[in-house]
Amino acid sequence: MYVKKVCVDDACLKRHVDVLARVVLSLELTDTGLFWKKIRLWSVSTLEEAIAEFEKTGDTQKFQTQISRTSVPQGHWNDFANLERELRPIAQQLGHMPSIHWLWKNNETRLISPINKYGGPENVAKRLGVLYTQTDRGQYTQWENVEVKLREVIIQLGGKFPSAGDLKRLKLSSLTGAINIHHDGMIAVRKRMEIGGGKHEHGYWGDIKNVKQELKVLAKTLGHFPGHDELKELGHSSLSIAIGNHGGIAEIREQMGHGLGRGRRAWGHWKDWDRVEETLRPIIQELGRFPEREEFSERRLGGLHAALSEFHDGVPAVRERLGLDPVSVTKGHWEMWENVVVAVRQLETKLKRFPSYRDMQQNGRSGLVTAIQRHHGGMNGLRKRLSQELDIKPMGYWHLWENVERELTVVIERIGHFPRHEELNALKLSSLSNAIHRFGGMNGVKERTGYALITDRDIQQHADVFARYIIEQNIVNTEGFWYTVKKNWTRRDLETAFAPPS
């Protein structure tokens, strides 16, 4: 049963105020306001775990990790009251509506997007009932004022340097005139502001320094490091292609000191089931159902969707593990033959006989009935195809572990590695794929047969042997060696590599 997350409130903060004050000092934060805002989005259990670690070891790593992961909830800015709560104290302090440039300069870039969402600074100022200041006549003769206004406009346009048409549409024709009369035109202004764009000479993108310079300017203007989709939307397709030619966006992010980036996790991050469940539960509660693939991507959780198949036996198994009603499935689910096989065999196991259409309907599988009739040759076609694939094994055959292990060994010898569900279905062995679910899924069977990837604990237990192995094999690139070990070695590989000579 899912228990709703209890978030940190004032009472909770008061209970822990002394230790949290010490945490703030240890972190040497420049923006304590943002720290308290993010803390309030945590669950009480998350906060208490971080505090316990800090009091035991003095280490703030758990706080740092959780703070970096915490962002405003999905749909937070859909409520204007949330933006008003953040903006009004700033406007009162300044005596007027803050400009986009002021927000950018004072590390409040998170407010820029919602301000633009509600029509820009002038419209938001009207809704708040605060003063909106406009530039005085003649002020654009001074370079500082031109730069400030252009950076506001660039952010308002999503990172795009404005054209004369853009400025006219924004009722800033006077700025265009001042640029041409007092500042040598748009090209000279671009150069002075160190903003790329337009056409470049042949070979420009072949120099990674140019790629990094363009990205540096965009990241500073946008307030975050841009992704490929964002670059294309902003008209920087050439830069996006150049990034791919220089090792990809993750590689360049690392070189420029931006880490993995928002929404990106290290390989294996989603292997931890508790982490998967903790992430999925709030989304399911928000949507009232299991999210579809596109909804994972919208939340920058494409890696999680891929991990459901890679580490947790696919969406149906995850739904079952979460205790969700299996009746609600995504569009096109029953058009996939492997999903039909799994559902039919589950019903067969439950009923102790082959299910009829009526059995399927009574067990909440009306969609399965429709799919069999439309896409899988009706009941006769279904029976025929299943009989061919299963080679007519006797009833209960797949309930015995020794049979599963024997069939699996044959497949491994045939293809040279532990199979994925997709490979078993391609080999017309969906029955074996289904049986694997019965014995703990892919991860459970891998553990049982020695094909599970080794863990840090395995490495620690064999530390001395690994050290000898590195020396004996004269391995120079130890970093590459450890990466390969952690990503590819199984328990069987470990036993084989360190087995005593015969």
The distance of Cα 154 from the centroid of its chain, to the nearest Å, equals 27
Q: What proportion of the chain, given as a percentage, has pLDDT over 70? A: 77
| pLDDT higher than 50, residue 137 | no
Average pLDDT, integer, range 143-170: 79
Print burial letters for 56-76: b (CB count within 10 Å at least 16), e (below 16). eeeebebbeebbeebeeeeee
Region 345-349: what's the mean pLDDT?
79
pLDDT of residue 135: 46
pLDDT at 134 over 60: no
| Closest by CA position to 162, among listed 138, 191, 186 | 186
CB burial of 297-313 (b: ≥16 within 10 Å; e: otherwise) equals: eebebebbbebbbbbbb
Domain ranges of the chain: 10-69, 76-128, 269-321, 333-390, 397-449, 456-497
The DSSP code for 107 is T
Residue 43 β-bridge partners: 7
The percentage of the chain sitting over the pLDDT mark of 90, rounded to a whole number, equals 0
| Model pLDDT, residue 497 | 67
Distance CA 402, CA 392 (A): 18
Average pLDDT value over all residues in the chain: 75
Q: For 233-258, how does the pLDDT look when each residue is reduced to its tens digit (9 = 90+)?
A: 666 777 877 887 777 777 787 777 76
**Residue 72 has what pLDDT?**
63
pLDDT digits (tens, 9 = 90+) for 68-113: 666 666 677 788 888 888 888 888 877 788 877 677 766 677 787 7
| Residue 178: Cβ within 10 Å count | 20
- DSSP-derived 3-state class of residue 356: coil
pLDDT score recorded for residue 148: 80
pLDDT at 311 (0 to 100):
79
User: What is the separation, in whole angstroms, between the first and last Cα of the chain?
Assistant: 53
- Looking at 58-62, 392-396, 408-412, which range is the least confident one? 392-396
Q: Is 166 exposed, middle or buried (0-12, 13-18, 19+ CB in 10 A)?
A: middle
The arithmetic mean of pLDDT across residues 177-182, rounded, is: 76
pTM summary value: 0.26
Residue 99: predicted pLDDT: 79
pLDDT at residue 236, as a whole number: 72
Q: Residue 382 and residue 337: Cα distance in Å, rounded? A: 10
Q: How many CB atoms lie within 10 A of CB 332?
A: 10
Q: Do the Cβ atoms of 216 and 256 come closer than 8 Å?
A: yes
Question: What is the token pair recorded at 426?
Answer: 């391609």
Residue 481 has pLDDT above 70, yes or no: yes
Q: CA 387 to CA 480: how far, in whole Å?
A: 47
480 vs 268, residue with greater confidence: 480
CA-to-CA distance for 419 and 424, rounded, in angstroms?
A: 7
Q: Which of 111, 99, 107, 224 is nearest to 153 (CA)?
A: 99
Q: What does the pLDDT look like over 289-339, one tens digit per residue?
A: 678 777 787 777 777 877 787 778 777 788 878 766 554 566 677 787 877
CA atoms within 13 A on the CB side of 325: 8
Quote the pLDDT of residue 324: 62
Instruction: Tell me the two tokens of residue 158.
Output: 């999503």
Q: What is the pLDDT of residue 366?
A: 66
- Supply the pLDDT for residue 222: 64
